[in-house]
Structure 1
Amino acid sequence: MAAAPVWSVDPRTGKRREQVAVEATPREVDRAVAAAHAARPALADRAVRAAFLRSAADLLGATEAALVEAADAETALGPVRLTGELARTRYQLRAFADVVDEGAYLDVVIDHPDATTTPPTPDLRRYKLPLGVVAVYAASNFPFAFSVPGGDTASALAAGCPVVVKAHPDHPATSELVASVLRRAAAEHGLPQAVVGLVHGFDAGLDLIRHPLVAAAGFTGSVRGGRALFDAAAARPVPIPFHGELGSLNPVVVTEDAAAERGEEIGTGLAGSMTLGVGQFCVKPGLVLVPEGAGGDRLVKSLTAAVSDTEPGVLLDQRMRDTFLAGVTERASLPDVTAPVTPGAGGAHTVAAGFLTVPAARLAADGAHDLLLEECFGPVTVVARYTDGDEVTAVLSRLPGNLSATLHLSADEAAGGGRGAELLAALTPLAGRVLVNGWPTGVAVAPAQQHGGPYPATTSTSTSVGATAIERWLRPVAYQNTPEALLPPELHDANPLGLPRRYDGRLEH
C-alpha cells in the first residue's frame, strides 16, 4: 500500500499548494531514530554544539525571506508576525549556545570524604548527562518558535540530545525547509545530518513515541492529542519523560478599583491580547473576571468597541475553524450568556472575533456552565461579571491548571493596599507565570521565564521557554569513590574546563 501524500495547504483558500512529502512508514521512523541515536557521540563536544546552534541561527537569518514566505503561505499568520517569530527563534538558539558555553546547566557538585557527618560522606561527584534521542512534536500555531527549530529542539540539542521532529500537518513545507537549514548548520561543524530528523504523519507520531531508542519527548498542542501521547509514553515497557504543553484558559482578574481607575485602558488591552494572532496563542486570556458597576461597564464598553473594529482573520486550518465555530455556538447558547460582540464566521475561510459575558455566579456553582472554563482556540474570550470577592474566590477554586494568570490592580493596590496580595496568592497555585497589570500574550525568552503550569497546561513542572528548558533532557549521575583518572574532566578537582560548580559546599564561578 502506497504511503499517503503530505500536502501543503493554503488556509486562505483551503486549496492544496503542493505535495511536500509522504507520511513516514514504521520502517522510516525506525531509520530516523536509529540514525539520531548513532549521532549522539558527535554532539558530545560542548564547543561544537554551541557553534552549531549559532550557525543555525545565522543560516535561519540568511534564508529569512524564503522561510517567511513559505510559512505565511501555509499558516496565514502574516509576514510581520512570522518575521518576528523567526527573530525570536534565532535569539533562542543563540541563548542556548550561551547556556552551553557557560556550563552551569551541568550542575556540577563535588563533595570530598567527610567522616564527621552522619552517616559518613564518601567522595561524591555529580553532574548531568544527556538523556538520548528526543522526539519533538511541532505546534500548529508557531511554525518556527515551537516547531522544527523551536525551543524543544534548541534546548535538546544544547543538552547534547539529537532530535527527531514530527512535523505539523499545517506547515509541512516550512518544516522541510527549516530542517534543511539546521542540517546545513550541522554539516558546517562536521555533525551528521541525523542530529535533526524529520518525519510526517499521524501514525508516525505514535511510532515515534513508542520507539525504544527515544528517551524523552516534547509536545505543544491540544489536550486530546497531548494526553494520547503522554499515555503512550507512560505505557511503554520503559516509560519516558513526556513534556507536553496541552491547553490553558489563562484567567484574568480585574479588581473593582482597577476597573474604576482605568477600565477603558484594560478593555482595549484585553481586546488586543485576545485577538492577537487571531486568538491562536496558547496564553490568550480566555476568562476575565470583571466587577459589576460603572468601572466594569466602562471596561466592557471599551472591549466592545475594540473587538468590533477587529478585522476577520484566517485560522490555521479548516478543522480549527470548524471547531471554533462549533465551540462559540455551544457556549453562546448557555443560559444567561450574552454576546456583546458575536464571535463566529467572518467569511468563507475567516472567523470574526467576539466575546461572551456571563454572571460569575453561574461559573462559581453551576456545572452546566463548565464549558466556559475550557479553552476555546481562536479569537474569543469570556467575561464573567462578579458582584463580590467571594464570587471571585469561588470561580478561581474551580479552575484547572494554566500557563498564566493575570491580575489587574489599581495604583493603591499595587502599592500594597486592598486585596492585591490576597488575590496574587490565590492565582499563584493556578499557573506557572503570574502577571500584574499586563497581558500574557508574549513570552520572553529569558533565564527566569516559566512557560508551563499545573495540568492540563503542561504534563510536567518544567518550562519550554527560557534557559532552564534544557533541564528536561538531562539526567544526573553521581560517581562515588571513583579515581580521578577515570572521571570525566567536568568532575576533576582542578576544574580544567572552568565550570561553575559547588565544591565542598561552596559555590565557585
Structure 2
Amino acid sequence: MITGKNYIGNVLSSIGKNTFKTFNPQLNKENKVVHTEASLIEIEKAVELAEEAFFSYKKVLGLEKSKFLLEIANEIENLGDELLDTYVNESGLTKERAMVERTRTIFQLQSFAELVKKGDWVEASIDTGNEDRKPNPKPDIRKMLVPIGPIVVFGASNFPLAYSTAGGDTASALASGCPVIVKSHPMHAGTGELVASAIIKAAETTGMPNGVFSNLNSKGIEVGETLVKHPKVKAVGFTGSFKGGRALYDLASQREEPIPVFAEMGSVNPVIILPNAVKHKSTFWAKQYASSIALGSGQFCTNPGLILGIKSNSLTKFIRNLGEEIIKIEPSCMLHPTIIGAYEKQSNEAKLEEGVTTVAIQNKEVLKNYGKQIIVTVEGETFLQNKKLHQEVFGPFSIVVQCENKAQLTKIIRNLEGQLTGTIISEGDDAVEFENSIELLKNKVGRLIFNGVSTGVEVCNSMVHGGPYPASTDSRFTAVGVNSIKRWVRPFSYQNWPNNLLPSELKNENPLQISREINGEKTMAKI
C-alpha cells in the first residue's frame, strides 16, 4: 500500500507541509496519492540514522550482506502486480517494460549478493614484515577496500526501477557496506515507496541496523541540495540531466569537506557509419537505427542521437531510408508532460538552426504526451561551427552529419565532448582504413560498439557505463556492473597490526577463504 510518506529508517513519516502528486502521462491526469516532501527535521534524522548504522553495517560480513541483498530482491518480487501497475501509472511505460526492468533490478541485486558472498572484491593485499631486513626492518602492511560512509542516491526519471530506489547505485552502495538515503524521483514516488518498503522489510528480516536505508520524497530541489551539503554524507550517485548532475557536483565541491559525485549525465552516443557499410548495407542499418532511435521514445541515455558519415550517393540513400523507416514506427508515450515539453522545445530549436534540413518527422495524430520521431541532417562544416547541434535532445531524435571527407570526419570526432558510447558501422576493410578515426573516438567514449546499436546496457563484469566528462563526472568508474561498487570505497592500510584485531579479510588464517595478494602473488593460502 502506498502512503505518500517518507521512510526515515524503518519509520514512515510525513511531518512536512509541501505535497505533490505523480502524473499518469497515458491518461494525462494526476494520480490520486498525495506524497509529502521530507522536512528538514526528517532529512536530519535520516542522515543521523545512516551515520549510526554505518559504524555497525560496515563490519557486517559479506555472507550477511549477501543475504540482505537477496532478500531485497525477494521482497521486490513479492510486490507483484501492485509494483508493476504503479510503475505503468507513473511513467507511461508499458507493463512489459516494467517486467523487464524489474528483472534487471533483481538481477543486479543478485549479482552484488554473489560478489560480496565471494569476498574477493575487497582486493586484500598483504606484504609481510621482516624484522631482520637491513638497514631498516620491513613493516607488515595489509591493505583492503573499505566503505566510505552514508551515500545519497538520486532516482532517475527514465528508469523507475533499475536506476532508482533499489537500482544499481543503491545495490552497489549497500553491497560495499555503505548505508543509503534515496532522494526519490517525484515522477515515480509511488513506485519508489513500494520498493523502499521492500528494502526496509528485507533489512528487518536479515537483522540489518535501522538507518541502513531511508527514502525521502521531494518535488523540488531543496531536499536534494540539503542532503548533498550535509557534512555526514560522503558521496552521491546521480543519473539524469547534465544541468542536474553538474549542479550537484558543484555543490559537493564547495563543501568544507568536498565529496565525490558520481553523475551519469547523458550523451549523444555518436555512430560512425563507414563508406563500405553505407554502400552495401544501407537499408539494413537504416532499419536498425530507426528502431534504436525510437526505442522507449528515445528516453535512454544511450540513444543514438548523432550519426556521422562521409558524403556519397550511398549516404544519401541511407538518410532517405532512415527517414522512411522512422515514420513507420508508432510513436510511444513519454514519461511526463515536462519531458515531452522539453523534447518538443529542443527538437524544434534544432530543426530551426541554420543549415539543418528535416529529413522526416512523424506527423500522424497521436495521443497527448506521445513523442514524434524526428530525423534531421546537416553538412559537416555547419555541425563543426554550431555547438548547439552537439547537445543531447532527450527523445526520439537524431541528426545525421554529412562529412566532406575523412579529414573532416576526424576533425568532428576530435571536437566532440565526452560520451557514454560510440559505435562503428563497418564492412570489409573500413575499420582498417579508418583506424585513426576510431582511435580518436576511443578517447571520447566509455564503450565502443562494433556493428550494433548503443541502446541496451548489459549488466556484467566487463560493462563500462560512464565516459569522459560531460557524459559522467569521473570516467574511471562505471555505473553498471559489479565494478560500480568501487565508487563507494577507499583503500585502507594496517601497519604492524595485531593479527587478532585485523578484519577477517586480512587475518593470517584467511578465515573467509578469499583470494588475496600476498607478497605480490595471488593465493588463497594462509600465512
**Structure-1-length-normalised TM-score:** 0.95
Give the residue type in structure 2 aligned to 1:52.
F
Does the CA-based 8 Å contact 1:259-1:291 persist in structure 2? no
For structure 2, which runs of at least 5 residues remain unmatched after alignment? Answer: 1-14
1:131-170 alignment, distance < 5 Å? 131-170=148-187
2:511 aligned with 1:491: no
1:128 matches 2:148: no
Q: C-alpha distance in 2, partners of 1:33/1:131? A: 14
| Separation in structure 1 between the aligned mates of residue 239 and residue 359 of structure 2, nearest angstrom | 32
1:293 is aligned to: 312
**Does the CA-based 8 Å contact 1:6-1:200 persist in structure 2?**
no
SS at match of 2:169: helix
In structure 2, what is the equivalent of residue 378 of structure 1? 395
Distance 1:37 1:343, change over 3 A: farther
Deviations 1:447-489 (A, max 9, x none): 0110000111111121110111000111111111222232222
Following superposition, the deviation at residue 63 of structure 1 comes to 2.1
Match of 1:358 in 2: 378
Decide whether aligned partners of structure 1 residues 340 and 505 sit closer, same or farther in structure 2, where only a CA change above 3 A counts.
same
The aligned residue for residue 456 of structure 1 is 470
Q: Is the 8 A contact 2:79 2:194 kept in 1?
A: no
Q: Deviations over 1:384-425 (max 9, x none)?
A: 1122111111111111111111111103345xx422x32321
Matches within 5 A, 1:347-496: 347-364=367-384, 366=385, 369-413=386-430, 417-419=432-434, 421-461=435-475, 462-496=477-511
Q: Is the 8 A contact 2:309 2:403 kept in 1?
A: yes
> Where do 4+ consecutive residues of structure 1 move more than 3 Å?
114-121, 343-348, 411-414
Q: Distance in 2 between matches of 1:285 and 1:116?
A: 60
Residue 12 (structure 2) aligns with: none
2:10 corresponds in structure 1 to: none
- In the alignment, the residues of structure 1 paired with residue 342 and residue 135 of structure 2 have an alpha-carbon distance, to the nearest angstrom, of 61
SS at match of 1:170: helix
Instruction: Please say which of residues 138-147 and 339-348 is displaced more in the overlay.
Output: 339-348
8 Å contact from structure 2 (residues 145, 489) kept in 1 = yes
Structure 1 distance, partners of 2:373, 2:468, is 28
Deviation at 1:193, TM superposition (A): 4.9
Question: Letter of the aligned partner of 1:310 in structure 2?
Answer: I
Shift of residue 121 of structure 1? 4.2
Report the alpha carbon displacement of residue 356 of structure 1 after superposing the two structures with TM.
0.7
- Give the 3-state SS of the residue equivalent to 1:348 in structure 2: coil
Q: Counterpart in 2 of 1:18? A: 32
Q: Confirm or deny that 1:72 pairs with 2:114.
A: no
Q: What is the Cα deviation at residue 199 of structure 1?
A: 0.6
Q: Which residue of 2 aligns with 1:178?
A: 195
Offset at residue 325 of structure 1 (A): 0.9
SS at match of 2:443: helix
- Give per-residue Cα distances to partners, 1:312-364, cap 9 Å, x unaligned: 22211111111111111111111221111126894432221111110112123
Give the 3-state SS of the residue equivalent to 2:462 in structure 1.
Answer: coil
Match of 1:303 in 2: 322
Where 1:213 maps in the other structure, the secondary structure is coil
Q: Which amino acid aligns with 1:65?
A: D
- Report how far residue 19 of structure 1 moved: 2.9
Unaligned runs of 5+ in 1: none
- Partners in 1 of 2:32 and 2:224 — Cα distance? 22
C-alpha separation in 2, matches of 1:227 and 1:94: 31
Q: Secondary structure at the match of 1:449?
A: coil
The percentage of counterpart residues that share the same residue type is 34
State the 1:47 CA deviation.
Answer: 1.3
Task: Check 1:300–1:490 CA distance in 2 against 1; reply closer, same or farther (3 A cut).
Answer: same
1:3-33 Cα shifts (integer Å, max 9, x gaps): 1112121112332112342111111111111
| 3-state SS in 2 of match to 1:384 | strand
What SS class does the counterpart of residue 186 from structure 2 fall into?
Answer: coil
Distance in structure 2 (CA, Å) of the matches to 1:287 and 1:18? 40
| Cα separation, partners in 2 of 1:117 and 1:395, compared to 1, 3 Å | farther
Q: Per-residue CA shift, 1:422-454, capped at 9, x if unaligned?
A: 232111000111111111110001001100001
Q: How far, CA to CA, are the matches of 1:118 and 1:370 in structure 2? A: 62
**Partners of 2:306 and 2:398 within 8 A in 1:** yes
Q: Deviations over 1:189-231 (max 9, x none)?
A: 1124532211111211111111111111100011111111111
- CA pair 190-477 structure 1, distance change in 2 beyond 3 A: same
- Determine helix, strand or coil for the equivalent of 1:98: helix
Structure 1: distance between partners of 2:465 and 2:347:
27
Query: What amino acid maps onto 1:176 in structure 2?
Result: E
- State the distance in 2 between where 1:237 and 1:343 align: 51
Give 2:339's match in structure 1, choosing from 316, 320, 325: 320
More deviation, 304-313/457-466: 304-313
CA contact (8 A) 1:265 1:299 kept: no
Deviation at 1:373, TM superposition (A): 0.2
Mapped to 2, the partners of 1:445 and 1:508 lie a distance apart of: 28
Distance in 2 of aligned mates of 1:207 and 1:424: 43
Paired residues of 1:13 and 1:349 also in contact (CA < 8 A): no
1:59 is paired with a residue of what secondary structure?
helix
How high is the TM-score relative to the length of structure 2? 0.92
Residue in structure 2 matched with residue 279 of structure 1 by the alignment? 298
